[in-house]
Structure 1
Amino acid sequence: MKKESNHYSHIKALYLEDDKLIRTIVCEHLEGNLSELLIAENGNEGLSLFKSHNPNLIITDLNMPVMSGIEFIKKIRLLDQTIPIIVTSALTDVDSFIKSIELKVDKYILKPFSPDEILGAIDVLSRQVILSQLNATSFHLEDISEEQLTTLQVVLRNSFSAIVKEIIGKGAPRINIKIKNNFLELYLYENFLPYEYSLSTTVYDVSFINSLRKSVYENFKQKIERKLSYSTGLNINLEDIQVSMNNSVEKFIFSIKNSEK
């Protein structure tokens, strides 16, 4: 069941639900928002659809005939450790909840629920799906979709801002990102500290402050690479740092590619 989506065009979901009424209501709500929605009534059907259609997100009930949701999730995790899974269930016993958590379920929605709750969960996991798609393919920045590019930029901007704040003690008010081939250029603006401006107008010249700031970043090179690689799932290497206090800008050049499998 395939429709063009204006909301989550990158989401190909597999939905498992044995209750016909609930299944119909949820499907009617989801089909117009997703790229594709695969439907199963039990774990056996779901497993078969997973293997033949490669969805990138799963929504499943736990209490189903033939194969329960817990057994289904166990089999899925043997095949794919990272695919986001949303559980919808009326079960309130602690044992089932704990088992689903142990199987790395990403979201748990208790019945009765509104279809909007599922869309809300999909929205939260949407970025995770996009980053997984980037990491699962041969990576060329110029070939990724606009949606993937936007998500990558947001993740990089947020992650890098947090890293800089941790290193310098101040997060840049403005960060711009430029992409050229498989290189990223990140620009920080107006991120110098008051004492640095003070030093530049007294004993030390601006070139000294530039060199000092650059050396601080270079000392944290591995940490910067590690955190950005972790947040994106890609292999990111810091190639060059350029600091200009006169222009109040710091430029970072990264190479980026798929992580090693």
Structure 2
Amino acid sequence: MKILIIEDEPGIKSFLQQGLQEEGFDCLIAETGTIGLQLAQNENPDLILLDWMLPELNGLELCKKFRKENSSTPIIFLTAKDTVEETIAGLQNGANDFIKKPFHFQELLERINVQLRSKQANIISLGKIKINEQSREVFKDEKLIQLTVKEFDLLLFLLKNKNKVCERKEILKAVWDINFEYDSGVIDVYINALRKKMAFTKEENYIQTIRGVGYMAKI
């Protein structure tokens, strides 16, 4: 698990990095809001620890900008601010949790684990593919893949039924809500589009064709 620490106070930054690495986390460090936003966008961290008061771009604005393109990565604010108005502002702009400075490391660690467990509950994976069902995001090799609504629904259905042969009529009913005789060639069109967008190699035969029957998601 990769945690991005966006904190400009040297003592807190060092304390967090050392403690989290001892717990087995990989840590990325940013000392300004601008660098923090860039790392959040480019490095796909599993969780972000975000200071409220930062140089260049404050934590609230960073959170707001990041949430416009990523709705699933948990964000925990580390802050001396504790008024109701400030807490509401943080939550409204995408924060998942707050912890007030100074804090005990074990309390922070438990809050981190709660957020990561919640995130993992929404993740369905197969090989190098990860789907976040709640945020409707798809990743391959940690890279975000842009899919249409039906492409996402089709991939999600196959992965929810991985290692099981999905018949064409099942797929039409689940993805297109079609319960009558219909040309199932539409499925082939979308499968081909998925394979192309996901850039599967010959070794990554994750969506297998079961001739005369349908498709199966399998490693």
TM-score w.r.t. the length of structure 1 is 0.47
Q: What is the aligned-residue RMSD (CA, Å)?
A: 2.8
**2:46 aligns with one of 56, 63, 80:** 56
The answer (yes or no) to whether the contact 1:63–1:91 under 8 Å persists in 2 is no
Task: Find the residue that maps to 1:79 and give its secondary structure.
Answer: coil
Alignment correspondent of 1:125:
115
Separation of aligned partners in 2, 1:95 and 1:66: 23
Aligned residues: 138
Letter in 2 for 1:95: E
Is 1:134–2:106 an aligned residue pair? no
Letter in 2 for 1:115: F
Separation of aligned partners in 2, 1:46 and 1:180: 37
The answer (yes or no) to whether the contact 1:16–1:40 under 8 Å persists in 2 is yes
Separation of aligned partners in 2, 1:28 and 1:139: 29
Is 1:81–2:71 an aligned residue pair? yes
Percent of residue pairs bearing the same amino acid type: 31
The answer (yes or no) to whether the contact 2:74–2:116 under 8 Å persists in 1 is no
Q: Cα gap change, 1:182/1:69 in structure 2, threshold over 3 Å: closer, same or farther?
A: farther
Q: Cα gap change, 1:127/1:92 in structure 2, threshold over 3 Å: closer, same or farther?
A: closer
Equivalence map 1:24-43=2 (5 Å):
24-43=14-33
Is 1:114–2:104 an aligned residue pair? yes
Larger radius of gyration: 1
Give the superposition deviation at 1:182: 4.5
Unaligned runs of 5+ in 2: 132-160, 166-215
Separation of aligned partners in 2, 1:139 and 1:81: 15
Give the superposition deviation at 1:23: 0.9
Give the superposition deviation at 1:77: 0.2
The answer (yes or no) to whether the contact 1:57–1:83 under 8 Å persists in 2 is yes
Alignment correspondent of 1:181:
163
Query: Could you say which structure has the higher helix fraction?
Result: 1
Task: Find the residue that maps to 1:100 and give its secondary structure.
Answer: helix
Is 1:95–2:85 an aligned residue pair? yes
Give the superposition deviation at 1:54: 1.1
